[in-house]
Amino acid sequence: MTRKLIEHADIVTLDPHGAILRNADVAIDGDRIVAVGQAPAGFQPDETLDATNHVLMPGFVNAHTHASMTFERGWAEDLPLDRWFNERVWVVESQLSDEDVYWGAMLAAAEMIRSGTVAFADHYFYMDRVAEAAEQTGLRALLAWCVFGEEHNIGVDLPGTVDFVRRWQGAADGRIRTLLGPHSPYMCDPQFLARTAAVAARLDVGIHIHLAESQEQVDNSLARHDRTPVELLEANGVFDVPTIAAHGIYVNAIDQAILARRGVTVVQCPNCHMKLGMGVTPAPALLAQGVNVALGTDGTASSNDLNMLKEARLAALIQKLHLADPEAMPGDLPLRMATQNGAKALGWPDSGAIAPGKLADLILLDCDQPHWRPRHDLVANLLHSAQAGDVSDVMVAGRWLMRQRRFLTLDIEQILWEAERRALALVGQDLAVVRRYKG
Ligand SMILES: [Zn+2]
């Protein structure tokens, strides 16, 4: 186990007191932080890093994404949800091979590390290949193989996802966790949801699902089942296991009380919600009732990037605008949603704060730049001024994944080449032709 000492950092701890430390040190032993402020007496580091002019904070946690959708970035623009899916996204997804999923996930991993994400909750297909990408790149990952019901699945059915859980639960020294991924209450029928919930309980894993993305979904659910989507999931036992519910936009007061009582995590994806014109997750109301609200990017076919710093900023701005209240989502709350709330949902409650005993999942941002000056308020600078490109160093479980903007666990040239040529081939384009067009 190696010992590392990071010196002279300005630290946004996101601890319970919201402590901000200037010119302070962080001592790390193995995968844990052992001291913050000053190294313990006699601490003998194997490696010392001078973090002068850098802000140190917990790494970001992307609590809802489809990593391999990086292949569809910029492929489905300015369309309503039904046309976005049927005319564009599905055209690509119906042809994906497991090798495509791997390279899409590697491209996503590079982008996530580059922008300071240390863990992600993924919901997609051919998930063994996403697990490989997480294993190789050093990220933490909570992985669900998405299924639609008894048929029309991609790669596996429900028993197949059980095998996936058994293969990968706790792999990569515990960095990889798994759960079940029924797509949504509008794609999966109630009997299938109930069966999935029972299987999850037996396996002692959770469920990651899409929930209440449009008023139409709620209206259809009421017409068909006489229940809102939230009520339908509760009635079928889904909330008997830890549940991550993506979006949660159209949830009424009764739904919100159910989500709070059952300990469901709601993942707001502000960039996706704005870009697809979906609506606004009532995050302040949910938080006030004790719901764990985390943030995610969703796939890059809708959000176009995997930038959690941007999601935290938009989570603040969207509520200030929507509620016409500049005091909505104050202080470091959006940063907590983008870090520790996600970490808790993904099963690493010891990640997401800089304090002794916590997991060493942290990032450094270069603040020796015009948009960081003056440094009156580091939280405001982080939330409203910082750029993803300011992230210079990323550590997961005490291991550096990026140092001084250099990737240490992946071959970026190979990833860029494989990802672009494969993504273009899926839509009938040729990289050579594209390059010629661009001159
Ligand atoms: Zn999604």
Name residue 364's amino acid.
L
From ligand 1's centre to the CA of 316, what distance in Å?
Answer: 21
Pinpoint the alpha helices (H) of 27-126: 81-83, 90-93, 98-114
DSSP 436: H
- What angle in degrees, to the nearest 10, is found between the helix axes of 158-168 and 190-203? 20
From ligand 1's centre to the CA of 65, what distance in Å?
Answer: 6
CB 333 within 8 A of CB 52: no
From ligand 1's centre to the CA of 195, what distance in Å?
Answer: 22
From ligand 1's centre to the CA of 8, what distance in Å?
Answer: 40
From ligand 1's centre to the CA of 182, what distance in Å?
Answer: 12
Q: Which residues surround ligand 1, an ion (CB under 5 A)?
A: 298
From ligand 1's centre to the CA of 299, what distance in Å?
Answer: 6
From ligand 1's centre to the CA of 51, what distance in Å?
Answer: 36
Report, at the CATH architecture level, how domain 3-59+352-407 is classified.
Answer: Roll (2.30)
**DSSP annotation string for 194-205:** HHHHHHHHHHT-
Tell how far CA 412 is from the center of its chain.
21
Q: Tens-digit pLDDT profile for the chain (439 aa)?
A: 699 999 999 999 999 999 999 999 999 999 999 999 999 999 999 999 999 999 999 999 999 999 999 999 999 899 888 888 888 888 888 889 999 999 999 999 999 999 999 999 999 999 999 999 999 999 999 999 999 988 778 878 888 999 999 999 999 999 999 999 999 999 999 999 999 999 999 999 999 999 999 999 999 999 999 999 999 999 999 999 999 999 999 999 999 999 999 999 999 999 999 999 999 999 999 999 999 999 999 999 999 999 999 999 999 999 999 999 999 999 999 999 999 999 999 999 999 999 999 999 999 999 999 999 999 999 999 999 999 999 999 999 999 999 999 999 999 999 999 999 999 998 887 776 655 554 4
Q: How many helices (H) and strands (E) does the chain have?
A: 17, 17
From ligand 1's centre to the CA of 66, what distance in Å?
Answer: 6
Structure tokens at 236: 């079928």
Return the closest-CA partner of residue 93 out of 151, 155, 143: 155
Structure tokens at 8: 């002279």
From ligand 1's centre to the CA of 189, what distance in Å?
Answer: 18
Q: What angle do CA 175, 306, 357 make, to 5 degrees?
A: 35
From ligand 1's centre to the CA of 217, what distance in Å?
Answer: 15
- Measured CA to CA, the distance from residue 346 to residue 123 in angstroms comes to 13
CATH 2.30.40.10 residue ranges in the chain? 3-59+352-407
CB 26 within 8 A of CB 354: yes
What is the SS3 assignment for 160?
Answer: helix
CATH 3.20.20.140 residue ranges in the chain? 60-346
From ligand 1's centre to the CA of 272, what distance in Å?
Answer: 9
From ligand 1's centre to the CA of 267, what distance in Å?
Answer: 10
Residue with tokens 């899916």: 85
Q: Is 44 left (phi over 0), alpha (psi -120 to 50) or beta?
A: beta
* 3-state helix, strand and coil shares in percent for the chain, rounded to the nearest 5: 40, 25, 35
Q: Going by CATH, does the domain composed of 60-346 fall within 2.120.10.30?
A: no
Strands 140-147 and 117-124: parallel
Question: Global pTM?
Answer: 0.97
